[in-house]
Amino acid sequence: MSDIKKIKDDFLLKLKENLDLNQVNQIKTELFGKTGLISSQFKQLGKLAEDERKKFASDLNLVKNELENLITTKINDIETKEINKKLEKEKIDITLPERPFVRGKIHPVSQVIDEISSIFSEIGFSVEEGPDVENEYNNFTALNTPDNHPARDMHDTFYLDDAKKLLLRTHTSPVQIRTMLNDKPPFKIIAPGRTYRSDSDQTHTPMFHQVEGLHIDKNINMGHLKGCLNYFIKEFFEVDKIKMRFRPSHFPFTEPSAEVDIGYEIKDGKIVIGEGDKWLEVLGCGMVHPNVLKNVKVNPDEFQGYAFGIGIDRLAMLKYGINDLRAFFDCDYRWLNHFGFDPIDVPTNYRGLSR
Ligand code: PHE
């Protein structure tokens, strides 16, 4: 039996066995590697006489092709088997129940801040922010609040140091000061945010929210203030008509000062805004005191304007029928699910609790 025939028979037999990829590759090297059996046979060609060479070469090529094809098929088979095995293992069981998908809710206070901001931005107000931890100057002195004013009392204000220089801001009015110190008039801003006072009952919490408004320009008068607040209340409560009353009041940083009440009545146990003969206080306001303008280097003979401070939590309670302010800050998830708002971009596969 010739060498070629022997190689062929041996390897056909070997390749019939159950082999893994490594073993097949090893056989491949044994045959076709640099010093492989088939490769060595090709090297013999030169030593043969011409008439023998032709036949030998053709036989050798046949064997080479046969073995090569067999090896390629074998490798393909093994690889396909491995892929199938992997697919089998990684198969996704689509009959499994899905994990519960619960989406968060927007807190009524955040919702109302967004509503207020968009209503005021329609008439040219921009939104400013100030820190919760304020200094005594911005919170009181610059706002024309005398040293002996009761608002400065320890019972009302949370001081953060013994010298009473740092405090948790008691209103959003210090943002008026920050804004005017930072820029030149005219100013037309609102400033929503957290405020703090030592108070706690059904309608008062130590932390609450206000939105400050400030409009300073040449020739701004109380008519502008009334028009602005009238527009805001109507937009906010989504009513065409509103009953509004300006009651004389006092704030050190405005002159004259007023507190604003809106008319309402109770119909079927629900508050209806804009009708009836009951009054509800919603905000404080007035024309900015000349002393405040002087403190921020704005000339009161040239510029003047109005300011207001609205209680956000109270507006949220009124609009959305929530009767205990303390629940706003209890972090009770059930309460939030009931009174909270869905984000606007609710996906179509949304499965959370809805309002
Ligand atoms: N800062 C006042 C308060 O907290 C409200 C207010 C703001 C009044 C602006 C007048 C002008 O009660």
Please check whether residues 49 and 119 belong to one and the same domain: no
Domain-embedded: residue 95: no
Contact indicator for 249, 257 with CB cutoff of 8 Å: yes
Q: Which atom of ligand 1 approaches the CA of 172 most closely?
A: 1
Q: For residue 345, what pLDDT is reported?
A: 58
Report which protein residue has its CA nearest ligand 1's atom 6: 309
Contact indicator for 335, 327 with CB cutoff of 8 Å: yes
d(CA 107, CA 224): 32
- In sequence order, the 6+-apart residues with CB closer than 8 A to the CB of 269 are none
Say yes or no to pLDDT of 259 above 80: yes
Q: For residue 355, what pLDDT is reported?
A: 38
- In sequence order, the 6+-apart residues with CB closer than 8 A to the CB of 99 are none
CB half-sphere exposure, 46, CA atoms < 13 A:
3
d(CA 246, CA 281): 10
Q: Which atom of ligand 1 approaches the CA of 306 most closely?
A: 11
- With a 6 Å cutoff on the Cβ, whether 295 touches ligand 1 is no
Please check whether residues 253 and 170 belong to one and the same domain: yes
Domain-embedded: residue 99: no
Domain-embedded: residue 346: no
**What is the CATH classification number for the domain harbouring 179?**
3.30.930.10
Please check whether residues 181 and 61 belong to one and the same domain: no
Domain-embedded: residue 344: no
- With a 6 Å cutoff on the Cβ, whether 64 touches ligand 1 is no
Q: Please, which pLDDT band fits residue 255 given cuts at 50, 70 and 90?
A: very high
d(CA 319, CA 294): 38
Please check whether residues 133 and 267 belong to one and the same domain: yes
**Structural domain containing residue 261:** 108-339
Q: For residue 351, what pLDDT is reported?
A: 47
Please check whether residues 159 and 284 belong to one and the same domain: yes
- How many structural domains does the chain have? 2
pLDDT digits (tens, 9 = 90+) for 150-199: 888 877 899 999 999 999 999 999 999 999 999 999 999 999 999 999 98
- With a 6 Å cutoff on the Cβ, whether 309 touches ligand 1 is yes
Q: For residue 354, what pLDDT is reported?
A: 42
CA torsion sign for 327, 328, 329, 334 is positive
Please check whether residues 197 and 315 belong to one and the same domain: yes
- Measured in Å, residue 130 CA sits from the centre of ligand 1 at 15
Q: Which two tokens stand for residue 53?
A: 């060479």
Domain-embedded: residue 100: no
- With a 6 Å cutoff on the Cβ, whether 254 touches ligand 1 is yes
pLDDT digits (tens, 9 = 90+) for 218-248: 999 999 999 999 999 999 999 999 999 999 9
- Measured in Å, residue 268 CA sits from the centre of ligand 1 at 33
Please check whether residues 269 and 305 belong to one and the same domain: yes
Please check whether residues 186 and 332 belong to one and the same domain: yes
Domain-embedded: residue 206: yes
* Contacts by 257-262, CB closer than 8 A, 24 or more apart: 257/284, 257/285, 257/286, 258/284, 258/285, 258/286, 259/283, 259/284, 259/285, 260/229, 260/284, 260/285, 260/308, 262/233
Please check whether residues 150 and 285 belong to one and the same domain: yes
Please check whether residues 172 and 69 belong to one and the same domain: no
Q: Which atom of ligand 1 approaches the CA of 210 most closely?
A: 4
* Contacts by 72-80, CB closer than 8 A, 24 or more apart: 74/15, 74/19, 74/24, 75/21, 75/24, 75/25, 78/19, 78/20, 78/21, 78/24, 79/21
Of 251, 254, 287, 312, the one to substitute when testing ligand 1's pocket (max ligand atoms within 8 A of C-beta) is 251
- Compute the residue count for the chain: 355
Domain-embedded: residue 98: no
Please check whether residues 208 and 80 belong to one and the same domain: no
Say yes or no to pLDDT of 290 above 50: yes
Q: How many CB atoms lie within 10 A of CB 244?
A: 16
Domain-embedded: residue 18: yes
Contact indicator for 130, 169 with CB cutoff of 8 Å: yes
